[in-house]
């Protein structure tokens, strides 16, 4: 056991409920754990999973996600049925969303923009961290490392379901999109909360392909542009994508 790994009995009630609702093998890291400790455990689980047939995912203790899992169960969500769904083309879904979100824009060229500043590099996972702006320090949220019984990374969003509200795609659409990105870029979900998903890639997307990827990020979650950039342009997102091996998605 890692120094700051705790038992289910030692975990908070939200963590206990999420573990019980999902039922997969797990490790739990306390708030005393370091970022590197959690990520080292994730890396070991990735290697172990390739041999034993599972895929890890990090799930912070999240009361909204815990409540949503209960709502899904009450609404009759059945994992087995979801996994049997014939998935649409993730590429076509993203194109459809992009066209829907941009059809009323009067100046697509301005929305695309030009970004000549230094791009933001995303090279760390952030969903299980809490930043203290007064002290300029980061602490760990109590976090569950689930060993999910699938070798298909795009199925993680079905095993730990979220979405289907506001502009957040439903589980089946998320699976299709994650499958497309895995096959095209090798992107794998690393964290899931009720409103955040982070994915990791083997390497950043090539610069010449980054604008198309930025359009897809916008189609997946418009807030990636509207609330997570300084300029509100696709060009800023593209510049970030071209230098980052982590993708960050957030739905407000």
Q: Is the dihedral of CA 64, 70, 75, 81 positive or negative?
A: positive
Residue 3: predicted pLDDT: 81
Neighbours of 191 (CB within 10 A): 23
Residues 154 and 175: their CA atoms lie apart, in Å, by 5
The structure's pTM equals 0.95
Question: Quick check: 36 pLDDT over 80?
Answer: yes
Position 132 confidence tier, pLDDT thresholds 50, 70, 90? low
Which has the closest alpha carbon to 101: 216, 228, 178? Answer: 216
pLDDT in tens, 159-170: 999 988 878 999
pLDDT at 137 over 60: yes
Instruction: Give the span between the Cα atoms of 209 and 194, in whole angstroms.
Output: 29
Q: What is the pLDDT of residue 146?
A: 98
Of 49, 7, 54, nearest to 28 (Cα)?
Answer: 7
Length of the chain: 252
CA distance 233 to 45: 37
pLDDT value of residue 252: 82
pLDDT digits (tens, 9 = 90+) for 97-125: 999 999 999 999 999 999 999 999 999 99
Q: Which stretches of 24-79 are assigned E, i.e. beta strand?
A: 26-29, 55-60
Average pLDDT estimate for 37-65? 97
What is the model's pLDDT at position 135? 57
pLDDT on residue 165: 82
Q: How many CB atoms lie within 10 A of CB 47?
A: 10
Burial class (CB in 10 A: 0-12, 13-18, 19+), 105: exposed
Q: Give percent of the chain with pLDDT exceeding 90.
A: 88
Burial (0-12, 13-18, 19+ Cβ within 10 Å), 84: exposed
Residue 167: per-residue pLDDT: 84
Strands in 26-29's sheet, in edge-to-edge order, are 5-6, 26-29, 143-148, 55-60, 188-192, 196-200, 246-250
With 80 as the cut, is the pLDDT of residue 50 above it? yes
Residue 134 has pLDDT above 70, yes or no: no
Averaged pLDDT for residues 208-228: 96
Cα separation, 216 vs 128, whole angstroms: 25
Res 194 pLDDT > 60: yes
């Amino acid at each position: 056991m890692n120094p700051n790994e705790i038992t289910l009995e030692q975990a908070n009630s939200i963590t206990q409920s999420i573990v019980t609702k999902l039922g997969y093998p797990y490790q739990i890291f306390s708030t005393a754990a370091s970022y590197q400790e959690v990520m080292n455990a994730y890396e070991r689980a990735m290697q172990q999973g390739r041999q034993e047939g599972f895929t890890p995912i990090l799930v912070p203790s999240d009361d909204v996600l815990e409540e949503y899992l209960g709502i899904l169960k009450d609404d009759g969500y059945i994992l087995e049925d979801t996994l049997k769904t014939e998935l649409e083309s993730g590429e076509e879904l993203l194109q459809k969303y992009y066209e829907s979100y941009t059809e009323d824009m009067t100046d697509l060229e301005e929305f695309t923009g030009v970004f000549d500043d230094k791009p933001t590099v995303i090279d760390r996972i952030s969903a299980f961290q809490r930043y203290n702006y007064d002290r300029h320090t980061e602490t760990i949220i109590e976090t569950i490392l689930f060993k999910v019984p699938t070798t298909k990374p795009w199925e993680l969003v079905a095993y730990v379901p979220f979405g289907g509200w506001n502009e957040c795609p439903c589980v089946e659409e998320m699976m299709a999109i994650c499958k497309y990105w895995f096959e095209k870029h090798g992107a794998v979900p690393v964290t899931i909360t009720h409103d955040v998903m982070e994915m990791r890639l083997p390497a950043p997307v090539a610069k010449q392909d980054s604008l198309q990827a930025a359009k897809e990020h916008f189609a997946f979650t418009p807030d990636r542009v509207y609330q997570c950039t300084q300029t509100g342009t696709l060009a800023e997102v593209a510049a970030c994508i071209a230098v980052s091996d982590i993708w960050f998605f957030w739905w407000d």
